[in-house]
Structure 1
C-alpha cells in the first residue's frame, strides 16, 4: 500500500504538524488513554494524579523503513505490550522525578505516528501473512495460539498442506493481534476501562481473600495454576494478571469468614473484573476463560439470562471453543505445564456447563461428541494436591461427562415423545450411573468411611441428577407399569433425604461457603420433593417429612448468606402461594397422628404432639425474620463510613474533572448535550 507522502508532499507536511508525538507511559498505554508526557514531560498528568509510577517502556532501535511499511513491527509492539501487561499497578505513591525523553539515534526530529486505528488495521491485514510465514512445524507455543478449526475450515485445509502431523490442531499465533480497545480515526481513543479497575486492596486484605480461595474453592475446581499464581503474587519483581487477581479476590470474598462486609467486597471486585473483561485488557485468552468461570461466584441481581452463572459460563464456552480447548493439545508444541492447566480448565468448564443446564433446564453449550480432550488423570495434578482433591476432580468430571452424554442421547425432546423410549432412557441412565458408582474408590463409595467435604459435594451432584430425571412424568403414562412409577418415587424420596443429609453435614462442618452456584438449586429440588411428601395421605410419611422440611429451611436460610438464589428460594417456601396449603395439610395430619397414638399410649401421644407443636413454633420463628436483609438487598450507592471500607479508597476521587472524563469522553463529546452526573464508585 503506497504511502500517502509519495502522492502529495503538501498533504504530508500538514499531517505532520497536526499529529501528536507517539510516546506514552506504560500505564496510559495499557488503558488506551491519551498521555501528555511527551508534551509536558514525564511523569504525565494521569500518573501524577493517580500517584503511581510513570514508567516509559524501553524503545528498540529500529532499522531503516522502506516505503509501504508500518512504523512499528509486530515484534516491537508485542514487546511494549508485554512490558506493561504483566505489571499490576501499585497503590503506593510513585516517583515524581521527570523522565528524560528518548529518541532514536540519528533522528533529528521526534517520531510521529499514524492513528491507532490505521496501525491496528494494518496489523489485522498482516495477520494471515505472518501466520503462514512462521515455522509451523517447530516453533513452540509461548504466548498466544491459533486453533485452525476442524477439517472443514479453509485455514485448517491450508495448514494441512504444510503440516506433516495431521493430529496437531494448535499452532503458535503471529505477533499481530486485534487491539483491546479500537481507536477512532482522528479522535483520541475513549477510555473504556474505569481507572478504579486498577486499584488494589491493601495487601493484608488480598492475603486473606487469596488464601480463602485456594483453601475453600480451588480444591474443588482447579481453574487456576496455584503454583504459578502464588509465585507471581509473592515475588516482588513480578505480578499476577490483574484480571485473575480480581476474580480470585471475588471468589475469596465469597468463601472467607474473616471479613464482615463480604458482599461489598464481592461487588467491588466484580465491577473491576468485569471492566477488565469487557475491555479485553488481558491478552491471554485463557485468562478470560478462567475469569468467566470464577465470575459465577457473584450473584448480580435476579437476571439469570443476561448475567450470573448462565451468562458467564456461556461466555467462557465461546472463548474456549474458539481457542480449541475441546481438542487434544498433546501433539502440539505447547508447554507441558500449560497442557495440564488447559485440560483442567476444560473439564471444569464441562462440569459447569452440565450443572447450569440441570439447574435451569436449558440446552447444554458443549457437545462432547465434538471433543477429544483426554479425561483428567492423576498425572494432571502436582504433588501438592491432596488425594481427596484429586479423586473428587477426576470422578466429578467423569460423572458430569456421563450425565451430559446421557441427557443428549436419551432425554432430548425427540426421545421423550414415546413412553417406551422414556422407560428405556431411565434404564440406560441408571445403568450408567451404577457403573460410575461401582468404579469409585472405596474411600468415596463406602458409606462406612468418614464423610469428607469432597465426598459430600460429589454425591450432591449424583443425587440431584437422580431426582431431576426420575421425577419426570410424561403427559400419557398409561402404558408405563405401575411398579416402575413406584420405583421412581422411591428413588426420588431417598435422593431428597440424602441431599438434605449432605447439607446438614456441610453445615456442621461450617463448609457451606464451599458450595458452588448450583447448590441452592439442589436444595430447592430436595425441598420440593419433601414438600410433596408433606401433602401425602399417609400420616407417617407426612410426619417424617416434617422434620426434614424444617431442617432444609434452616439450612437454606444460612446458605442464602452466600447465594442470592437461596434467599429467593427461602422466601418462596415462606411466603409463596403454596405455603398455606402445606401448613393446612400439616395441621390436618397432626390430629390424626395423635388419635392413632392415643390408642396405644396416651403419654407417648401427648409427647409427640408437644414435639410437633415445638417444631411448628420453631418454623414460625423463622418466618418472623427481618424482611429486608442486608445481604439480599441491592447494594446501596450511598457514601460509606471510612471505618467500614476494606478496599483502598478510589485514588481518582480527588479530581472530579478527571474522574468524569473517564466515562463521558467519546466521539460524541462535541455535541451540545447535557452530560449526566458522573457515576459514584463504591470503593
Structure 2
C-alpha cells in the first residue's frame, strides 16, 4: 500500500504486483479450517525483517508477524509481586482473551489481515472521543456549565484559560467573580461489564494496527514477569516518582484494564531501577537492552496514537523522559518533557484547583503531584544541557504539595502519624521547593533579559530552605546516611545549587569585589560532599535507590574538580585529579541506567587526557605523571593521531554542544594550546 512493486515482489522478481481484493477474515470459518490455520501458524517462523528488531540472543516465540517478548515462558518463573494476591492474568488488548501466557493465545493468523475497526458514532466510545471537534467540545461544555454538581473526571477535563475569549465572556456574565478554569468535558470511555478497556481501538486504521502488531507491542510478558515489573515499579519507582494513584493503578492491573502504553512505560522504568538479579530472571542480558526493548514498544504506541486517555499519555511521556537519546535525535529527555508539559497545560494541571469543588480530592492530589514532578524534572533536565525551561512558573499557580496529597495512596497504614512513613512524601514537597530556587539561580545568572540577583541573596534562600527542613530529611555534611536516600538526594541537590551560584563568571558582578578564596572554599566543600555521597552509594550498592536528580550533581562537581586540575598549584591539581577520578568511576557505574552519564564520562575523559599532556599541569615525577595519565586517559590520549581524529576531538571540546549554556561556555573556555593541530 506504500509503494509498488512491493518488497516481496521485488525480491521474487514478480512483475505483476497488484492489490487483490480478498474476503479473508470477513466470514466465519469452519472449525476444521481454523484448526488447520492454527496448526500452520505454529510452524511459521517470524519474518527476518521483523525479528531484526530484537537482539539475536532473544528467543523468537511468536505466531505470524508478532514478535514474542524476550521472557522465559516456563511456569516455574518466580512471581515477585508480593503486594498482589491471587492469580492475575492479562487481557490481550485486541481480542480481550485473558491468559497467563500471552504468546500462546494472541493475535489472528498471519495469513489474515487485521480486523477492520468498526466505525462507531456512539457517544463516549474511543473513536468519537478521539475525533471530537473543538466546537463539539465547547458545545458539551456550554450545555453542562450550569450543572455544577456533576463530578469532573480527571481524564476529561475541559480547561479554559483566562485569556480565552469564551472564558472572558463567561466570567463577565458571572459578575466579575474569579472565573472557573476547569470544567466537565465529554465523558471518557470506560470499560463496561467484563469487556476489557480498549479491547477494540475503533479510532485506529487497520494498517496502523498491523504496524503495531509487526512491532510486537501486543505480545506482553507472561504473568509472572509482568507481576515482577509492576512490583519493582511500586516498590522502587513509585516512592521516587508518585505520578499515579497507587490504589487505582493496582486495581486496574488486577482486572486487566491497565492501558497498554502505560504498561510499557512503567516496564521501561521498572527495568531502569530493577536490581541486576531481577533483570536476569526477566531474561535480559543487559540493562540497556531491557530499557531499549520497552522504550521502543511504548514509543510505537505513542507514535500511532493508540492511547486516548490524556492522563495516561501524560504519565507515560513523563516516564519516557528518562530515555536520554542523543544531541541530534528529536526524541530525548528534553523533548519528552516538553511533550508532557504541553499535555499538562492543555488539561490545566498548572492551575489551582482549590476553587473546583466538584472534583474528587484524590484526583486533585494526583494533578498536583504530576505538575510538581514535571516542574522538578523540567528544571533539572533543562539545566543539564543549558536549554530554556519549558515551564513558565509565572503563568502557573498550582497549589504546592502537602502531606494530604499522599494520604490517599499511603505506603503505610499509619501514614499521617508516623514521620518516617512520610519521608517519601516530604521529599516530593521539599524537592519541589528546591527546584524553584534553582530556577531563580538559572534565571538570575543566565537569562539575558533579567536583572541578576546577588549570590548572597540566592545563598540565603538556600540556607533558609535547609533550616526549615523536617528532621527526617536533614543530613550530616560529613557522614551521609545511606539508609535515607531522600536526605542524600536533597543534600546533593542543595550542594549542586551552591556550585551553580558561584562556578564561572557571575553576570553583573564586579570581579574585584569577589573574595576568590571564600568562593573556592564554598565550591570545593559542595563538590566534595557530592563525591562523598555518590561514592558511598557505590560502596553500599545503593545507586538504584535514589532519584535520578541526584546524579545531575556529579556533572557540576566534576566541573569544579576540572577547574582545580588546571591550577598552577601542583598539590591543588593533584587533589582535583583524584576527586575527578572518583566521579569518573561513579559515572561508569551509573551510565547503564542514566543515559546522560555516558556523554559526561566521555567529555571529562577527553578533557583530562589532554590536560595531563600540558607541562604546566603535570607533576614533578614523570613516573607519577605517567601512572595518573594511564588511570585517567584509559588510552584515549595516545589514540588520537590522525587529522580526522583531531577534528573529532577538537569538536568535542569546542563545538556547538556548549553554545546554549552560558555557564559551560565560560567553564570550558579552553586555551588554544589545548587543541590538537589540524
Interval containing the TM-score (normalised by the shorter chain): 0.5 to 0.7
Under a length normalisation based on structure 1, what TM-score does the superposition of the two structures give? 0.66
Deviations 1:56-75, CA, capped at 9 Å, x for gaps = xxxxxxxxxxxxxxxxxxxx
Aligned length: 519
Q: Could you say what secondary structure the match of 1:139 adopts?
A: coil
TM-score by length of 2: 0.67
1:64-463 aligned at under 5 Å gives the runs 91=102, 93-94=104-105, 126-134=136-144, 135-142=146-153, 144-160=155-171, 166=178, 168-175=180-187, 190-191=208-209, 194-195=212-213, 196-233=216-253, 235=254, 237-256=255-274, 257-258=276-277, 259=279, 260-300=285-325, 302-303=326-327, 306-332=330-356, 333-382=358-407, 383-384=410-411, 386-408=421-443, 411-415=446-450, 422=452, 424-447=453-476, 450-451=481-482, 452-463=484-495
1:496-511 → structure 2 map (5 Å cutoff): 496-511=527-542
Query: Residue 490 of structure 1 aligns to a residue in which SS?
Result: helix
- Cα distance in 2 for partners of 1:616, 1:476 equals 39
Cα contact 1:527–1:552 (8 A) shared by 2: yes
Taking the TM superposition and a 5 Å limit, the aligned residue runs for 1:491-640 are: 491-514=522-545, 521-574=552-605, 576=606, 579-582=609-612, 584=614, 588-591=618-621, 618-619=631-632
Is the CA contact 1:534–1:586 (under 8 Å) kept in the aligned structure 2?
Answer: no
Contact 1:88–1:240 (Cα < 8 Å) also in 2: no
In structure 2, the CA distance between the partners of 1:139 and 1:42, relative to structure 1 (3 Å rule), is farther
8 Å contact kept, 1:170–1:324: yes
Distance in structure 2 (CA, Å) of the matches to 1:524 and 1:310: 17
8 Å CA contact 1:241, 1:282 repeated in 2: yes
User: 1:306, 1:262 → 2: CA distance?
Assistant: 23
8 Å Cα contact 2:570-2:617 kept in structure 1: no
Aligned-residue offset at 1:272: 1.3
Find the residue that maps to 2:497 and give its secondary structure.
helix
Contact 1:426 1:470 in 2 (8 A): yes
3-state SS, counterpart of residue 567 of structure 2: coil
* Equivalent in the alignment of 1:105: none
Report the Cα offset of residue 622 of structure 1: 8.5
Question: Alpha-carbon deviations, 1:296-331, whole Å to 9, x = none?
Answer: 22233x236621110100000000000000112233
Q: Distance in 2 between matches of 1:520 and 1:501?
A: 13
Provide the C-alpha distance between the structure 1 equivalents of 2:119 and 2:347, rounded to a whole number of angstroms.
Answer: 36
Q: 2:492, 2:533 within 8 Å by CA — same for their partners in 1?
A: yes
Which has more radius of gyration? 1
Q: In structure 1, the residue corresponding to 2:157 is in which secondary structure?
A: strand
- What is the rounded CA distance, in whole Å, between the counterparts of 1:384 and 1:147 in structure 2? 32
Q: Post-superposition shift, 1:466?
A: 2.0
Q: Which moved more, 1:499-508 or 1:346-355?
A: 499-508
SS at match of 2:217: helix
Report if the CA contact (8 A) 1:124-1:176 is conserved: no
2:129·2:188 contact (CA, 8 Å) conserved in 1? no
Q: Cα deviations across residues 620-678 of structure 1 (Å, max 9, x unaligned)? A: 66879999xxxxxxxxxxxxxxxxxxxxxxxxxxxxxxxxxxxxxxxxxxxxxxxxxxx
Change (3 A) 1:502 1:181: farther
Q: Counterpart of 1:481 in 2: which secondary structure?
A: helix
Give the Cα–Cα distance (whole angstroms) in 2 for the partners of residues 35 and 171 of structure 1. 47
For residues 38-94 of structure 1, give each alpha carbon's deviation from its aligned partner in whole angstroms, at most 9, with x where no partner exists.
Answer: 54469999x977989xxxxxxxxxxxxxxxxxxxxxxxxxxxxx9979969751545
Shift of 1:336: 1.5
- Aligned residue for 1:491, secondary structure, equals helix
Which SS does the other structure have where 2:454 is aligned? helix
Where 2:619 maps in the other structure, the secondary structure is helix
- 1:460-483 deviation per Cα after TM superposition (whole angstroms, max 9, x unaligned): 222222222311315886x33344
Post-superposition offset of 1:389: 1.0
Unaligned runs of 5+ in 2: 1-21, 42-61, 65-90, 109-117, 190-199, 280-284, 413-420, 641-678
Change (3 A) 1:456 1:613: farther
Q: Could you report, residue by residue, the CA deviation over 1:526-553 in whole angstroms, capped at 9, with x for unpaired residues?
A: 1121122122122332232232122112
* Cα deviation 1:353-374 (Å, max 9, x = unaligned): 1101211111111111222211
The 5 A counterparts of 1:468-487 are 468-473=500-505, 479-487=510-518
The Cα of 1:590 is off from its aligned counterpart by 4.4
1:15 is aligned to none
Displacement of 1:143: 5.9
Per-residue CA shift, 1:96-145, capped at 9, x if unaligned?
Answer: 99xxxxxxxxxxxxx99899999987866533323322254122123633
Determine which structure has greater relative contact order: mean sequence separation of CA pairs < 8 Å that are 6+ residues apart, divided by chain length: 1
What secondary structure does 1:298 align onto? coil
Asked if structure 2 preserves the Cα contact closer than 8 Å seen for 1:411 and 1:425, the reply is no
How many Å separate the matches in 2 of 1:296 and 1:432? 29
Distance (whole Å) between structure 2 residues aligned to residue 340 and residue 118 of structure 1: 29
The alpha carbon displacement at 1:486 in A equals: 3.6
Superposed CA deviations along residues 1-60 of structure 1, whole A, max 9, x for unmatched, are: xxxxxxxxxxxxxxxxxxxxxxxxxxxxxxxxx997654469999x977989xxxxxxxx
Following the alignment from structure 1 to structure 2, what is the Cα–Cα distance between the partners of residues 437 and 571?
A: 34
Q: What SS does the aligned partner of 2:183 have?
A: strand
Structure 1: unaligned runs, 5 residues or longer? 1-33, 53-81, 98-110, 416-420, 593-608, 628-683
Instruction: Name the Cα RMSD after superposition.
Output: 4.2
Q: 1: CA distance between counterparts of 2:507 and 2:583?
A: 30
Distance 1:318 1:433 in 2: 30
Does the Cα contact within 8 Å between 1:504 and 1:555 map onto a contact in 2? Answer: yes
CA distance in 1, matches of 2:248, 2:30: 34
Shift of residue 508, structure 1, vs aligned partner:
1.9
Supply the distance in 1 between the matched residues of 2:551 and 2:232 (Cα, whole angstroms): 21
Question: How far did residue 168 of structure 1 move?
Answer: 2.9
The 3 A distance-change label for structure 1 pair 141 and 541 is: same
Residues 121/318 of structure 1: CA separation in 2 closer, same or farther (3 Å cut): closer
